[in-house]
């Protein structure tokens, strides 16, 4: 009887443990999330790591192209996706934990290409804009009248077109004050070579998006962990530390001003 009781107890404990395991998907999107050796790190990745620890939730992380990660998160009942813009179109498709770190988005051009000079999105349709497949800004620009293969150029990730952009083969690229320095640094370039031409409409803050089948108590525990991190200052310290580590040139420029 005792052995039977222990076996049942082990089964129940194992089932509860398995129920808390989340499969978290993300993309190569430095400095928010990227692979460094065997660890997925970055500003939002480290915040999510801590959320899982504080909420006592077992989480595994994997890196995929954005569209594949998005579709997987919709299908797997234990899946989550970050860094994800929370938009009206996506609201009912997920449960949300956040907001995580985010920043304003712009269309950037090379400074040595003054002929790429749109003043609004209508004029921007004369040029080629790089977007990640399935990205929120692809949806936004399609609704604004852009056409895939004509003035909307699909890439597997947000940072994939940087090399072609620096060669002048892509006219405009979508980025922010936070991500552009890191993307450019990977190609031995700096913010001195680019400039924003149009600020894009805010598409919603960044979040961890969880499959609708994830138990609500786990969602609540993760959100409570994030709220506590912000109250204690731990969230702010992670953002500040990883921002400086990823973009020391930005730190230097800020000190001079």
pLDDT digits (tens, 9 = 90+) for 82-102: 999 999 999 999 999 999 999
In this model, does residue 160 exceed pLDDT 80?
Answer: yes
Tokens encoding 139: 């949806």
**Model's pTM, two decimal places?**
0.79
Report DSSP state, residue 32. Answer: T
In this model, does residue 131 exceed pLDDT 60?
Answer: yes
Phi/psi class of residue 157: alpha, beta or left (left: φ > 0; alpha: ψ in -120 to 50)?
Answer: beta
CA contacts within 13 A on the Cβ side of 25: 22
Q: In terms of DSSP bridges, do strands 206-210 and 34-36 run parallel, antiparallel, or are they unpaired?
A: unpaired
In this model, does residue 57 exceed pLDDT 90?
Answer: yes
Tokens encoding 112: 């040595």
Low-confidence winner among 169-173, 213-217, 234-238, 239-243 (lowest mean pLDDT)? 239-243
User: Considering the chain, what is the average pLDDT of its residues?
Assistant: 88
Residue 30 vs residue 252, higher pLDDT? 30
pLDDT at 141: 94
In this model, does residue 249 exceed pLDDT 50?
Answer: no
Phi, psi torsion values for 111, nearest 5 degrees: -65, -25
In this model, does residue 225 exceed pLDDT 80?
Answer: yes
In whole angstroms, give the CA distance from residue 110 to residue 81: 32
Is residue 66 within 8 Å of residue 133, measured between CB atoms?
Answer: yes
Q: Which residues touch 252 (CB under 8 Å, ≥6 apart)?
A: none
In this model, does residue 246 exceed pLDDT 90?
Answer: no
Q: Which residues touch 241 (CB under 8 Å, ≥6 apart)?
A: none
List of domains in the chain: 21-102+204-256 (3.40.190.10), 105-199 (3.40.190.10)
Percent of the chain with pLDDT over 90: 76
Q: Residue 25 burial (CB < 10 Å; 0-12/13-18/19+)?
A: buried
Is residue 179 within 8 Å of residue 58, measured between CB atoms?
Answer: no
């Amino acid at each position: 009887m005792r052995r039977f009781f222990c076996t049942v107890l082990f089964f129940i404990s194992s089932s509860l443990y398995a129920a808390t395991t989340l499969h978290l998907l993300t993309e190569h999107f430095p400095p928010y999330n990227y692979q460094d050796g065997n660890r997925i790190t970055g500003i939002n990745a480290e915040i999510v790591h801590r959320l899982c620890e504080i909420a006592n939730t077992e989480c595994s992380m994997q890196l995929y192209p954005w569209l594949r990660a998005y579709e997987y998160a919709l299908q797997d009942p234990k899946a989550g996706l970050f860094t994800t813009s929370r938009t009206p179109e996506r609201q009912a498709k997920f449960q949300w934990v956040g907001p995580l770190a985010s920043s304003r988005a712009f269309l950037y051009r090379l400074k040595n290409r003054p002929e790429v000079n749109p003043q609004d999105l209508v004029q921007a349709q004369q040029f080629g804009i790089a977007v990640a497949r399935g990205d929120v800004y692809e949806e936004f620009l399609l609704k604004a009248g852009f056409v895939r293969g004509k003035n909307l150029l699909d890439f597997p990730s947000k940072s994939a077109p940087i090399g072609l952009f620096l060669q002048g083969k892509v006219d405009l690229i979508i980025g922010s004050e936070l991500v552009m320095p890191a993307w450019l640094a990977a190609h031995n370039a700096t913010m001195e070579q680019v400039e924003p031409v149009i600020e894009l409409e805010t598409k919603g803050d960044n979040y961890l998006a969880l499959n609708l089948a994830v138990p609500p108590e786990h969602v609540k525990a993760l959100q409570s962990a994030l709220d506590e991190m912000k109250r204690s200052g731990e969230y702010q310290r992670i953002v500040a530390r990883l921002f400086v580590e990823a973009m020391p040139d930005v730190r230097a420029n800020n000190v001079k001003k």
